[in-house]
Amino acid sequence: MVKTLLPEEEFEAFIQSYTQSLKKSIKILKSNQHNFSTTHKQLTNDGRSLTPPNFSRKGKNYDDVFFVDKTDKQSLWSHLLHQQGAFYVQEIAAGLPTQILNVQPGEIVLDLCAAPGGKSIQLADKLWFNGLLIANELNPSRRKALKANLERCGIRNNIITGYDGKQLGNLLYEQCDKVLLDAPCSGEGMQYKSDFKIYQWNEKQVRKLAHIQYELLTAGFKALKIWGELVYSTCTTNTIENEGVVTKILEELGDSIELVNVEIEEKSKGIGIDHVARFRPHIHHTGGFFIAKFKKNKPTSYLTSNNEQHLNREQHQRKILENKQIQQHSKKRIPSEIIFLQTKHTIRAVTKKAVWFLDILYIDQAGLPIFKVLNNNEWKPLEGLEKLSNSKN
């Protein structure tokens, strides 16, 4: 498929690019207990050179993602600061959708297909503490990784759900300021990890994935508020997904939505469609990636809510605690912009914006665990309490 989209000499460069290793890259968090500049300084003092990627928006480079060159043999994943949640290892192109979405503090953002959590961490970091991230992942094993990564990074402004993403359009009808759909795809852009997909390309499977992406996009637009923005991305290269899906959703929803420009100066153009962005391994030295951005202008004629409400099946097991109850068990400073939820075995801290969603969604996990409730009803402090009290407000 890729061979039909590129000139012969460029296709050879494309294939050659997959024989070369990509530079490691990281996202440094700004809103958790670690100081951004301190993290940056410590990594450079450890012999690592941090270089911003050559991607800019309106002439301004992104300031929280970096390529990493190192002189020692310690892996980034085993670095103490990574284990403490000060940064997340993520391929540069994979982090671009969250930059394009332009999330603002205080917003409600839905990440429809969130695992393993790199994009969710970036979104939560940009929301600051008074926003809310709804991180959804259907697959239980992938959702386990999502939970672990969010907790490691001290993220407390989130709730995690396990729905088929297509259900969330009705459940969250016009509740979200921003939506990210980093869609399940054929993964052709990830061949730097393995050349398997080069030899196993299956058009029937690709068309099936494109249909799933279309259905998820439809749900995303249902959940999106009027004037809200949605970013659709994949790590694949074919036009059956990507441009094909974009064209179909624009035809179906008409002037209810519009395709807006992906504002990255160094992008490659879409194939047969304007405003979208492609990132090509042999040109941009990243994985293969596709990004499109939409704005919702008005309700559509058929994307209406069925008003069905799914109450949280664990609602009776949760109760909201008062701050003074938490303070009795802790000498730490407790931020004021959060609430505390008690389940059978855990006390968790989460942003106040989560309260409304506790009644309409089945919540797998909320916020950050700060106490374990023992059998004798004593509270044992967890690592999250230290992250909570040390974080910036």
Instruction: For residue range 72-103, list pLDDT tens digits in order.
Output: 667 888 899 999 999 999 988 999 999 999 99
User: Which residue, 1, 379, 377, is CA-closest to 187?
Assistant: 1
In a structure prediction context, what are the per-residue pLDDT tens digits for the chain, which is 393 residues long? 665 666 666 666 666 666 677 788 999 998 766 778 889 999 998 888 998 888 877 777 777 889 898 766 678 888 999 999 999 999 889 999 999 999 999 999 999 999 999 999 999 999 988 899 999 999 999 999 999 999 999 999 999 999 999 999 999 999 999 999 999 999 887 765 555 445 566 889 999 999 999 999 999 999 999 999 999 999 998 999 999 999 999 999 999 999 999 999 889 899 999 999 999 887 778 888 999 999 999 986 656 555 444 444 444 457 888 777 887 787 777 777 889 999 888 999 999 999 999 888 999 999 999 999 998 889 999 989 888 877 655
- The CA distance from 75 to 57, in Å, is 31
Tokens 């959590």 -> residue: 117
pLDDT for residue 313 = 46
pLDDT for residue 128 = 85
First to last CA, the chain: 49
Instruction: Determine how many CB atoms are found less than 10 A away from the CB of residue 260.
Output: 15
Assess whether 176 carries a catalytic annotation: no
pLDDT for residue 192 = 52
Q: Point out the catalytic residue in the list 153, 176, 185, 235.
A: 235
Burial of 250 (C-beta count, 10 Å sphere; 0-12/13-18/19+): middle
Q: Is 195 helix (H, G, I), strand (E, B) or coil?
A: coil
pLDDT for residue 176 = 97
Tell me the C-alpha to C-alpha distance, in Å, between residue 354 and each of 7, 33, 105, 154, 285: 50, 21, 15, 17, 39
pLDDT for residue 312 = 44
pLDDT for residue 188 = 84
pLDDT for residue 37 = 87
pLDDT for residue 276 = 97
Q: Are 146 and 116 in contact (CB under 8 A)?
A: yes
User: Which residue, 121, 56, 66, is CA-closest to 277?
Assistant: 56
In angstroms, how far apart are the furthest CA atoms of the chain?
71
Which pTM does this prediction carry?
Answer: 0.91
